[in-house]
Amino acid sequence: MNAQAEDPIRIRDYRSSDYGQIMELWNETGLGGRNRGDDQKTIEHSLELGGKMIVAEDTAQEKVVGTSWMTFDGRRIHLHHIGVLPQYRNRGLGKRLTIESLRFAKARGYQIKLEVRQDNIRAIGLYKELGFQRLGDYDVYIVRDLSRIDV
């Protein structure tokens, strides 16, 4: 009798102790980091406001290998930083994280919105497959460094 190996990757909720590994993952994948305001205080405050962070963890390595961070603005859930470490890609983890994110939004009863780079064709294909629709020709603008604003 062949015993099937248990999947070492599990999707679970964020824990404060994950923060260091998440920063490493986001820096390696170009998703974010402290320089973009993604510090632990901001992440955990967003969770207190009704958001959620889920991680993909390689349980054999005790390592965070993927993330999906959802923030809530009182109107919509915004999906941020869906990413998987390069060595863990092509295993369906991005899809698993996105599906769990959609389940969260559906359970809460809110629309879910995301931004994706135009050249990230694989991610765009996945998002379309899961029901996301392009809003149109919107450009996204941001002010990251408020100290540079003279108002």
Structure confidence by residue, pLDDT tens digits, 113-140: 999 988 999 999 999 999 999 988 777 8
The answer to whether the predicted template modeling score (pTM) of the entire model surpasses 0.85 is: yes
9-148 belongs to which homologous superfamily? Answer: Gcn5-related N-acetyltransferase (GNAT) (3.40.630.30)
Which two three-digit tokens encode residue 50? 């009704």
Q: How far is Cα 148 from Cα 114, in angstroms, rounded to an integer?
A: 27
Q: Where are the domains of the chain?
A: 9-148
3-class SS of residue 102: helix
pLDDT tens-digit map of 71-102 = 999 999 999 999 999 999 999 999 999 999 99
Q: Residue 5: pLDDT band by 50, 70, 90 thresholds?
A: low
CA of 18: how far to CAs of 33, 41, 121, 123, 133, in Å? 14, 13, 29, 24, 32
Write the DSSP assignment of 20-62 as a string of letters: HHHHHHHHHHTS--GGGT--HHHHHHHHHTT-EEEEEEETTTT
